[in-house]
Amino acid sequence: DIVMTQSPLSLPVTPGEPASISCRASQSLLHNDGHNYLDWYLQKPGKSPQLLIYMASNRASGVPDRFSGSGSGTDFTLKISRVEAEDVGVYYCIQVLQTPFSFGPGTKVDVK
């Protein structure tokens, strides 16, 4: 089974400043079709998870362009170019390459 880890697990942020979250997989998520099967979600308190990035680097519809995803193989990064107050919540990566699919433990982002 593929194990997902994230760092940091807690991230205090300052509005207007950049932020970055790392996600690492225990095995490569690069499929032979050339795509990395890794998504990023944000779950705000009391809300359903919101897809931010799919296939490692594709921004989902309606997601602000301050969010970007990068990486390949086993190491991935979600970047927020300028954090806004509404970006607080828990961020998760998930590998969807092979079953059982697996989420990272989550990174809790809050405002300093």
Partner 1 sequence: EVQLLESGGTLVQPGGSLRLSCTASGVTVGTYAFNWVRHAPGKGLEWISVIVGSAADTYYADSVKGRFTISRDISKNTVFLQMSSLRADDTAVYYCVARQGRPPPYWGQGSLVTVSP
Pattern of binders to partner 1 over 53-92, x per CB under 8 A? -xx--x-xx----------------------------x-x
Q: Which stretch binds partner 1 (CB under 8 A): 19-27, 52-60, 70-78, 80-88?
A: 52-60
Task: Count other C-beta atoms under 10 Å from residue 16's C-beta.
Answer: 9
Q: What are the φ/ψ torsions at residue 89 (nearest 5 degrees)?
A: 150, -165
- Residue 58: CB minimum distance to partner 1, A: 7
Among 11, 13, 83, 94, the residue binding partner 1 under the rule CB under 8 A is 94
> For the chain, where are the E strands, in sequence order?
4-7, 10-13, 19-25, 38-43, 50-54, 58-59, 67-72, 75-80, 89-95, 102-103, 107-111
Binding site for partner 1 (CB under 8 A): 33, 35, 39, 41, 43, 48-49, 51, 54-55, 58, 60-61, 90, 92, 94, 96, 99-106
